[in-house]
Amino acid sequence: MNQAHFDALIEADERIEPDDWMPDDYRNALVRQIAQHAHSEIIGMQPEGEWITRAPSLRRKAILTAKVQDEAGHGLYLYGAAESLGTPRSELLDRLHTKTQKYSSIFNYPTPEWADIGAIGWLVDGAAIMNQVPLCRCSYGPYGRAMVRICKEESFHQRQGYQIMLSLSQGTPEQQAMAQRALDRWWWPSIMMFGPPDSDSPNTGRSMAWGIKRFTNDELRQNFVDATVPQAELLGLTPPDNALVWNAERGHYDFGEPDWDEFARMVRGEGEIPDVRIGVRRAAHDEGDWVRKAAAAYAGKRDARSAA
Amino acid sequence: MSTVFPQWEVFVRARRGLDHQHAGSVHAPDGETALRAARDLFTRRQEGVSLWVVPSNEIVASDPADVGALFEPAADKAYRFPTSYELPPEVDHM
Ligand SMILES: [Fe+2]
Ligand SMILES: [Fe+2]
Protein backbone atom coordinates (compact mmCIF):
# COMPACT_ATOMS: atom_id res chain seq x y z
CA MET A 1 0.00 0.00 0.00
CA ASN A 2 2.69 2.48 1.11
CA GLN A 3 5.04 1.31 -1.61
CA ALA A 4 2.27 1.47 -4.21
CA HIS A 5 1.41 5.03 -3.20
CA PHE A 6 5.08 6.05 -3.37
CA ASP A 7 5.52 4.38 -6.76
CA ALA A 8 2.42 6.12 -8.09
CA LEU A 9 3.70 9.53 -6.96
CA ILE A 10 7.09 8.93 -8.59
CA GLU A 11 5.39 7.61 -11.72
CA ALA A 12 3.27 10.76 -11.96
CA ASP A 13 6.40 12.92 -11.45
CA GLU A 14 4.88 14.28 -8.24
CA ARG A 15 7.01 15.40 -5.31
CA ILE A 16 7.66 13.36 -2.18
CA GLU A 17 7.39 15.43 1.02
CA PRO A 18 8.96 14.71 4.43
CA ASP A 19 5.82 13.25 6.03
CA ASP A 20 5.24 10.80 3.17
CA TRP A 21 6.13 7.17 3.52
CA MET A 22 9.24 6.37 1.47
CA PRO A 23 11.40 3.26 1.00
CA ASP A 24 14.52 3.12 3.18
CA ASP A 25 16.76 2.94 0.11
CA TYR A 26 15.28 6.15 -1.26
CA ARG A 27 15.71 7.90 2.10
CA ASN A 28 19.30 6.69 2.53
CA ALA A 29 20.30 7.56 -1.01
CA LEU A 30 18.88 11.06 -0.57
CA VAL A 31 20.56 11.64 2.79
CA ARG A 32 23.87 10.61 1.24
CA GLN A 33 23.41 12.74 -1.88
CA ILE A 34 22.15 15.87 -0.09
CA ALA A 35 24.74 15.61 2.70
CA GLN A 36 27.57 15.18 0.20
CA HIS A 37 26.27 18.17 -1.66
CA ALA A 38 26.11 20.20 1.58
CA HIS A 39 29.64 19.13 2.56
CA SER A 40 30.87 20.23 -0.88
CA GLU A 41 29.37 23.68 -0.43
CA ILE A 42 31.08 24.34 2.88
CA ILE A 43 34.41 22.71 2.00
CA GLY A 44 34.29 24.69 -1.25
CA MET A 45 34.59 27.85 0.83
CA GLN A 46 38.22 27.02 1.58
CA PRO A 47 40.08 27.25 -1.76
CA GLU A 48 38.35 30.56 -2.50
CA GLY A 49 38.46 31.81 1.08
CA GLU A 50 42.25 31.56 0.94
CA TRP A 51 42.20 34.29 -1.71
CA ILE A 52 40.00 36.88 0.03
CA THR A 53 42.94 38.74 1.58
CA ARG A 54 44.96 38.50 -1.63
CA ALA A 55 42.26 39.49 -4.15
CA PRO A 56 43.67 42.36 -6.22
CA SER A 57 41.18 45.10 -5.31
CA LEU A 58 38.68 46.05 -2.64
CA ARG A 59 35.88 45.29 -5.10
CA ARG A 60 37.24 41.81 -5.81
CA LYS A 61 37.61 41.17 -2.08
CA ALA A 62 34.01 42.21 -1.46
CA ILE A 63 32.79 40.02 -4.34
CA LEU A 64 34.75 37.01 -3.17
CA THR A 65 33.56 37.47 0.41
CA ALA A 66 29.97 37.59 -0.86
CA LYS A 67 30.49 34.43 -2.91
CA VAL A 68 32.06 32.49 -0.04
CA GLN A 69 29.21 33.67 2.18
CA ASP A 70 26.72 32.35 -0.39
CA GLU A 71 28.43 28.96 -0.40
CA ALA A 72 28.06 28.79 3.39
CA GLY A 73 24.39 29.56 2.87
CA HIS A 74 24.06 26.83 0.27
CA GLY A 75 25.51 24.37 2.74
CA LEU A 76 22.95 25.43 5.34
CA TYR A 77 19.98 25.18 2.93
CA LEU A 78 21.10 21.67 2.08
CA TYR A 79 21.79 20.48 5.64
CA GLY A 80 18.25 21.65 6.41
CA ALA A 81 16.87 19.60 3.51
CA ALA A 82 18.85 16.55 4.68
CA GLU A 83 17.59 17.00 8.25
CA SER A 84 14.00 16.81 7.00
CA LEU A 85 14.78 13.14 6.28
CA GLY A 86 15.46 12.51 9.97
CA THR A 87 19.26 12.71 10.26
CA PRO A 88 20.40 15.56 12.53
CA ARG A 89 22.94 18.05 11.23
CA SER A 90 25.41 17.25 14.01
CA GLU A 91 25.54 13.68 12.77
CA LEU A 92 26.10 14.76 9.17
CA LEU A 93 28.96 17.03 10.25
CA ASP A 94 30.46 14.15 12.24
CA ARG A 95 30.42 12.05 9.09
CA LEU A 96 32.24 14.80 7.20
CA HIS A 97 34.79 15.27 9.97
CA THR A 98 35.49 11.54 10.24
CA LYS A 99 35.64 11.19 6.42
CA THR A 100 32.80 8.64 6.38
CA GLN A 101 31.00 10.91 3.91
CA LYS A 102 32.67 12.60 0.99
CA TYR A 103 32.59 16.02 -0.59
CA SER A 104 33.29 16.81 -4.24
CA SER A 105 36.96 16.14 -4.96
CA ILE A 106 37.09 19.28 -7.13
CA PHE A 107 37.85 21.14 -3.88
CA ASN A 108 41.02 19.10 -3.38
CA TYR A 109 42.84 20.89 -6.19
CA PRO A 110 45.16 23.77 -5.21
CA THR A 111 44.60 27.43 -6.14
CA PRO A 112 48.13 28.81 -6.57
CA GLU A 113 47.24 31.87 -8.70
CA TRP A 114 44.62 34.60 -8.74
CA ALA A 115 43.35 33.39 -12.13
CA ASP A 116 42.29 30.15 -10.41
CA ILE A 117 39.55 32.15 -8.70
CA GLY A 118 38.31 33.25 -12.12
CA ALA A 119 38.47 29.69 -13.44
CA ILE A 120 36.63 28.31 -10.41
CA GLY A 121 33.73 30.75 -10.80
CA TRP A 122 33.51 30.23 -14.53
CA LEU A 123 34.10 26.45 -14.74
CA VAL A 124 33.44 24.92 -11.32
CA ASP A 125 30.35 26.99 -10.56
CA GLY A 126 29.42 26.60 -14.23
CA ALA A 127 29.56 22.81 -13.93
CA ALA A 128 27.69 22.99 -10.62
CA ILE A 129 24.92 24.99 -12.31
CA MET A 130 24.71 22.38 -15.07
CA ASN A 131 24.25 19.75 -12.35
CA GLN A 132 21.92 21.74 -10.16
CA VAL A 133 19.38 23.21 -12.54
CA PRO A 134 17.80 19.79 -13.29
CA LEU A 135 17.81 19.04 -9.53
CA CYS A 136 15.32 21.87 -9.02
CA ARG A 137 12.87 19.21 -10.29
CA CYS A 138 14.16 16.54 -7.93
CA SER A 139 11.42 14.22 -6.67
CA TYR A 140 12.15 15.11 -3.04
CA GLY A 141 10.41 18.43 -2.33
CA PRO A 142 12.77 20.02 0.22
CA TYR A 143 15.84 19.21 -1.91
CA GLY A 144 14.25 20.65 -5.04
CA ARG A 145 13.25 23.82 -3.19
CA ALA A 146 16.76 24.24 -1.76
CA MET A 147 18.11 23.87 -5.29
CA VAL A 148 15.81 26.62 -6.57
CA ARG A 149 17.24 29.04 -4.01
CA ILE A 150 20.78 27.95 -4.77
CA CYS A 151 20.44 28.22 -8.54
CA LYS A 152 19.16 31.78 -8.20
CA GLU A 153 22.38 32.67 -6.41
CA GLU A 154 24.81 30.76 -8.63
CA SER A 155 24.52 32.98 -11.68
CA PHE A 156 26.46 35.75 -9.96
CA HIS A 157 29.16 33.23 -9.04
CA GLN A 158 29.74 32.18 -12.61
CA ARG A 159 29.56 35.69 -14.02
CA GLN A 160 32.07 37.15 -11.57
CA GLY A 161 34.45 34.30 -12.40
CA TYR A 162 34.08 34.78 -16.11
CA GLN A 163 34.61 38.51 -15.68
CA ILE A 164 37.91 37.87 -13.88
CA MET A 165 38.97 35.68 -16.81
CA LEU A 166 37.84 38.38 -19.23
CA SER A 167 39.89 41.12 -17.54
CA LEU A 168 42.95 38.89 -17.42
CA SER A 169 42.61 37.80 -21.03
CA GLN A 170 42.37 41.45 -22.09
CA GLY A 171 45.37 42.35 -19.91
CA THR A 172 49.13 42.09 -20.21
CA PRO A 173 50.78 39.03 -21.81
CA GLU A 174 51.62 37.83 -18.28
CA GLN A 175 47.97 38.10 -17.26
CA GLN A 176 46.85 36.28 -20.40
CA ALA A 177 49.34 33.52 -19.68
CA MET A 178 48.07 33.22 -16.11
CA ALA A 179 44.49 32.92 -17.39
CA GLN A 180 45.56 30.14 -19.78
CA ARG A 181 47.40 28.31 -16.96
CA ALA A 182 44.24 28.43 -14.85
CA LEU A 183 42.16 27.02 -17.71
CA ASP A 184 44.78 24.28 -18.17
CA ARG A 185 44.54 23.40 -14.48
CA TRP A 186 40.74 23.48 -14.14
CA TRP A 187 39.46 22.17 -17.47
CA TRP A 188 39.79 18.46 -16.84
CA PRO A 189 38.85 18.53 -13.16
CA SER A 190 35.67 20.42 -14.14
CA ILE A 191 34.86 17.85 -16.82
CA MET A 192 35.28 15.13 -14.20
CA MET A 193 32.95 16.90 -11.75
CA PHE A 194 30.06 15.14 -13.49
CA GLY A 195 31.30 11.83 -12.14
CA PRO A 196 32.40 8.60 -13.80
CA PRO A 197 31.25 7.69 -17.32
CA ASP A 198 27.73 6.25 -17.52
CA SER A 199 29.20 2.82 -18.28
CA ASP A 200 30.85 2.93 -14.85
CA SER A 201 28.08 4.58 -12.82
CA PRO A 202 26.09 1.72 -11.25
CA ASN A 203 23.57 3.86 -9.32
CA THR A 204 22.53 6.12 -12.19
CA GLY A 205 19.62 3.95 -13.33
CA ARG A 206 18.09 3.75 -9.88
CA SER A 207 18.61 7.45 -9.19
CA MET A 208 16.99 8.37 -12.51
CA ALA A 209 14.04 6.07 -11.81
CA TRP A 210 13.58 7.79 -8.44
CA GLY A 211 13.84 11.26 -9.96
CA ILE A 212 16.77 12.24 -7.73
CA LYS A 213 18.89 12.52 -10.85
CA ARG A 214 17.46 13.87 -14.12
CA PHE A 215 20.29 13.45 -16.64
CA THR A 216 23.18 11.00 -16.79
CA ASN A 217 26.76 12.04 -16.06
CA ASP A 218 27.73 11.86 -19.72
CA GLU A 219 24.73 13.91 -20.86
CA LEU A 220 25.57 16.68 -18.40
CA ARG A 221 29.25 16.50 -19.31
CA GLN A 222 28.40 16.97 -23.00
CA ASN A 223 26.14 19.94 -22.20
CA PHE A 224 28.94 21.49 -20.20
CA VAL A 225 31.51 21.11 -22.97
CA ASP A 226 29.07 22.48 -25.56
CA ALA A 227 28.33 25.53 -23.42
CA THR A 228 31.90 26.19 -22.31
CA VAL A 229 34.02 25.89 -25.46
CA PRO A 230 32.57 29.02 -27.11
CA GLN A 231 33.07 30.88 -23.83
CA ALA A 232 36.75 29.92 -23.88
CA GLU A 233 37.03 31.04 -27.51
CA LEU A 234 35.62 34.42 -26.60
CA LEU A 235 38.38 34.73 -24.00
CA GLY A 236 40.99 33.76 -26.58
CA LEU A 237 41.92 30.77 -24.42
CA THR A 238 42.35 27.16 -25.49
CA PRO A 239 41.08 24.18 -23.48
CA PRO A 240 43.89 21.63 -23.02
CA ASP A 241 42.32 18.91 -25.17
CA ASN A 242 43.68 18.09 -28.65
CA ALA A 243 40.66 15.93 -29.40
CA LEU A 244 38.26 18.83 -28.95
CA VAL A 245 36.46 19.48 -32.22
CA TRP A 246 32.97 20.51 -33.36
CA ASN A 247 31.04 17.57 -34.77
CA ALA A 248 28.44 19.05 -37.13
CA GLU A 249 26.77 15.70 -37.60
CA ARG A 250 26.11 15.21 -33.88
CA GLY A 251 25.59 18.92 -33.28
CA HIS A 252 27.99 18.61 -30.32
CA TYR A 253 31.67 18.96 -29.56
CA ASP A 254 33.71 15.77 -29.56
CA PHE A 255 36.23 15.74 -26.75
CA GLY A 256 38.96 13.57 -25.29
CA GLU A 257 38.78 11.04 -22.50
CA PRO A 258 39.48 12.43 -19.01
CA ASP A 259 42.16 10.74 -16.91
CA TRP A 260 39.87 8.44 -14.94
CA ASP A 261 42.79 7.10 -12.92
CA GLU A 262 43.41 10.58 -11.62
CA PHE A 263 39.70 10.86 -10.90
CA ALA A 264 39.82 7.62 -8.89
CA ARG A 265 42.84 8.87 -6.93
CA MET A 266 41.04 12.13 -6.15
CA VAL A 267 37.86 10.32 -5.07
CA ARG A 268 39.95 8.10 -2.79
CA GLY A 269 41.25 11.34 -1.25
CA GLU A 270 44.91 10.88 -2.08
CA GLY A 271 47.36 13.74 -1.60
CA GLU A 272 47.78 16.23 1.22
CA ILE A 273 44.91 18.58 0.52
CA PRO A 274 42.04 16.42 1.87
CA ASP A 275 43.67 16.36 5.31
CA VAL A 276 44.14 20.11 5.16
CA ARG A 277 40.50 20.67 4.21
CA ILE A 278 39.14 18.41 6.97
CA GLY A 279 41.66 19.81 9.43
CA VAL A 280 40.56 23.39 8.74
CA ARG A 281 36.92 22.34 8.94
CA ARG A 282 37.35 20.49 12.25
CA ALA A 283 39.36 23.33 13.73
CA ALA A 284 36.64 25.83 12.75
CA HIS A 285 34.07 23.58 14.41
CA ASP A 286 36.08 22.84 17.57
CA GLU A 287 37.36 26.38 18.03
CA GLY A 288 33.80 27.65 17.70
CA ASP A 289 32.65 25.50 20.59
CA TRP A 290 33.08 28.24 23.19
CA VAL A 291 30.75 30.45 21.14
CA ARG A 292 28.03 27.78 21.14
CA LYS A 293 28.55 27.22 24.88
CA ALA A 294 28.34 30.94 25.60
CA ALA A 295 25.17 31.31 23.50
CA ALA A 296 23.56 28.35 25.28
CA ALA A 297 24.54 29.74 28.70
CA TYR A 298 23.11 33.14 27.81
CA ALA A 299 19.83 31.60 26.60
CA GLY A 300 19.65 29.50 29.77
CA LYS A 301 20.15 32.53 31.96
CA ARG A 302 17.42 34.46 30.16
CA ASP A 303 15.02 31.52 30.48
CA ALA A 304 15.75 31.27 34.18
CA ARG A 305 15.16 35.00 34.61
CA SER A 306 11.85 35.02 32.76
CA ALA A 307 10.72 31.97 34.75
CA ALA A 308 11.48 33.76 38.04
CA MET B 1 -16.94 34.66 31.61
CA SER B 2 -16.61 33.00 28.22
CA THR B 3 -13.80 30.59 27.38
CA VAL B 4 -11.06 32.01 25.10
CA PHE B 5 -9.03 29.54 23.04
CA PRO B 6 -5.43 30.21 22.10
CA GLN B 7 -4.60 31.38 18.58
CA TRP B 8 -2.84 29.21 15.98
CA GLU B 9 -1.14 30.33 12.79
CA VAL B 10 -2.09 28.19 9.80
CA PHE B 11 0.24 27.21 6.95
CA VAL B 12 -1.07 25.48 3.82
CA ARG B 13 0.87 23.51 1.23
CA ALA B 14 -1.09 24.15 -1.97
CA ARG B 15 0.38 21.12 -3.70
CA ARG B 16 3.31 18.75 -3.50
CA GLY B 17 6.60 20.42 -4.29
CA LEU B 18 5.59 23.81 -2.87
CA ASP B 19 6.43 25.29 0.54
CA HIS B 20 3.74 25.66 3.17
CA GLN B 21 2.53 29.25 3.03
CA HIS B 22 0.96 31.30 5.75
CA ALA B 23 -2.79 31.44 5.21
CA GLY B 24 -4.13 33.03 8.41
CA SER B 25 -5.07 31.92 11.90
CA VAL B 26 -7.69 30.04 13.90
CA HIS B 27 -8.61 29.73 17.57
CA ALA B 28 -8.72 26.25 19.10
CA PRO B 29 -8.07 24.55 22.46
CA ASP B 30 -5.36 22.23 21.07
CA GLY B 31 -3.38 21.41 17.95
CA GLU B 32 -5.64 18.64 16.73
CA THR B 33 -8.70 20.85 16.90
CA ALA B 34 -6.79 23.71 15.33
CA LEU B 35 -5.93 21.44 12.39
CA ARG B 36 -9.60 20.56 11.93
CA ALA B 37 -10.64 24.20 12.16
CA ALA B 38 -7.92 25.13 9.64
CA ARG B 39 -9.12 22.41 7.30
CA ASP B 40 -12.66 23.84 7.43
CA LEU B 41 -11.59 27.44 7.15
CA PHE B 42 -8.81 27.40 4.55
CA THR B 43 -9.23 24.31 2.39
CA ARG B 44 -12.92 24.01 1.61
CA ARG B 45 -12.07 24.04 -2.11
CA GLN B 46 -9.07 21.75 -2.10
CA GLU B 47 -6.67 24.64 -1.64
CA GLY B 48 -4.13 22.35 -0.04
CA VAL B 49 -2.62 18.92 0.45
CA SER B 50 -1.00 19.54 3.83
CA LEU B 51 -1.55 21.79 6.84
CA TRP B 52 0.67 23.05 9.65
CA VAL B 53 -0.60 24.85 12.72
CA VAL B 54 1.76 26.66 15.10
CA PRO B 55 0.81 28.38 18.37
CA SER B 56 0.79 32.09 17.51
CA ASN B 57 2.65 33.03 20.68
CA GLU B 58 5.49 30.67 19.71
CA ILE B 59 6.33 32.79 16.69
CA VAL B 60 9.24 35.14 17.24
CA ALA B 61 8.93 38.04 14.83
CA SER B 62 11.38 40.76 13.88
CA ASP B 63 10.50 44.25 15.09
CA PRO B 64 9.29 46.62 12.33
CA ALA B 65 11.43 49.29 13.96
CA ASP B 66 14.51 47.21 13.12
CA VAL B 67 13.85 47.10 9.40
CA GLY B 68 16.70 49.45 8.60
CA ALA B 69 19.27 47.72 10.77
CA LEU B 70 18.24 44.26 9.55
CA PHE B 71 17.77 44.67 5.83
CA GLU B 72 19.38 47.88 4.60
CA PRO B 73 22.98 46.65 4.78
CA ALA B 74 22.20 44.50 1.72
CA ALA B 75 21.29 47.61 -0.31
CA ASP B 76 24.82 48.74 -1.14
CA LYS B 77 26.00 45.25 -2.17
CA ALA B 78 24.94 45.30 -5.79
CA TYR B 79 27.74 42.85 -6.55
CA ARG B 80 25.58 40.08 -5.08
CA PHE B 81 23.40 40.34 -8.18
CA PRO B 82 24.27 38.81 -11.55
CA THR B 83 23.32 42.09 -13.25
CA SER B 84 26.31 43.91 -11.80
CA TYR B 85 28.67 41.96 -14.11
CA GLU B 86 28.82 43.27 -17.64
CA LEU B 87 29.63 40.52 -20.10
CA PRO B 88 29.83 40.42 -23.90
CA PRO B 89 26.43 39.70 -25.50
CA GLU B 90 27.53 36.23 -26.69
CA VAL B 91 27.82 34.99 -23.10
CA ASP B 92 25.41 37.33 -21.37
CA HIS B 93 22.87 34.53 -20.79
CA MET B 94 25.34 33.01 -18.28
FE1 LIG C 1 27.08 26.85 -4.12
FE1 LIG D 1 28.66 28.84 -6.23
Residue A212 vs residue A308, higher pLDDT: A212
Long-range contact list for A1-10, CB < 8 A, 24+ apart?
Answer: A9/A139, A9/B16, A10/A139, A10/A209, A10/A210, A10/A211
What percent of chain A shows pLDDT beyond 70?
Answer: 100
**CA-to-CA distance for A154 and A124, rounded, in angstroms?**
11
ipTM associated with this complex: 0.90
Q: Is the pLDDT of residue A220 over 90?
A: yes
Tell me how crowded residue A103 is: count the other CB atoms within 10 A of its CB: 24
A128-149 average pLDDT score: 96
Q: Residue A307 above 90 pLDDT?
A: no
Residue A255: its pLDDT value, please?
A: 98
**Residue B87's pLDDT band (cuts 50, 70, 90):** very high
Q: Check residue A200 and give its pLDDT.
A: 92
pLDDT, tens digit, for every residue of A277-301? Answer: 999 999 999 999 999 999 999 999 9
Residue of A17, A152, A154, A167 to mutate when probing chain B, most B C-beta within 10 A: A17
Of B19, B77, B91, the CB nearest to A231: B91
Q: According to the CATH classification, is domain B7-91 in 3.40.50.300?
A: no
Interface test with A, best of B49, B86, B91 (most A CBs within 10 A): B91
* Mean of pLDDT over chain A: 96
Q: Which of B54, B50, B52 lies closest to A20, judged by CA?
A: B50
State the smallest CA–CA distance between residue A159 and chain B in angstroms. Answer: 6
Residue B1: its pLDDT value, please? 65
Whole-number pLDDT of residue A285? 93
Residues of chain B neighbouring A144 (CB-CB closer than 8 A): 17
Please check whether residue A25 touches B, CB under 8 A.
Answer: no
Tell whether A165 lies on the interface with B, counting CB pairs under 8 A: no
Name the minimum distance, in Å, from the CA of A36 to any CA of chain B. 22
Measured CA to CA, the distance from residue A184 to residue A176 in angstroms comes to 12
Question: Cβ atoms within 10 A of the Cβ of A114, count?
Answer: 18
Cβ pair A163:B85 closer than 8 A: yes
pLDDT digits (tens, 9 = 90+) for A71-108: 999 999 999 999 999 999 999 999 999 999 999 999 99
A34-39 average pLDDT score: 97
Q: Furthest-apart CA pair in chain A: how many Å?
A: 79
Q: What is the pLDDT of residue B72?
A: 87
Query: Is any Cβ of chain A less than 8 angstroms from the Cβ of B91?
Result: yes
Is residue A308 predicted with pLDDT exceeding 90? no
Q: Under an 8 A CB cutoff, do B50 and A9 touch?
A: no
Residue A16 contacts B, CB cutoff 8 Å? yes
Of B17, B19, B79, which has the smallest distance from its Cβ to A62's Cβ? B79
Domain spans, chain B: 7-91
Q: Look up residue A16 and give its DSSP letter.
A: B
Residue B2 confidence (pLDDT) above 90 = no
Percent over 90 (pLDDT), chain A = 97
Given this model, what pLDDT does residue A260 score?
96
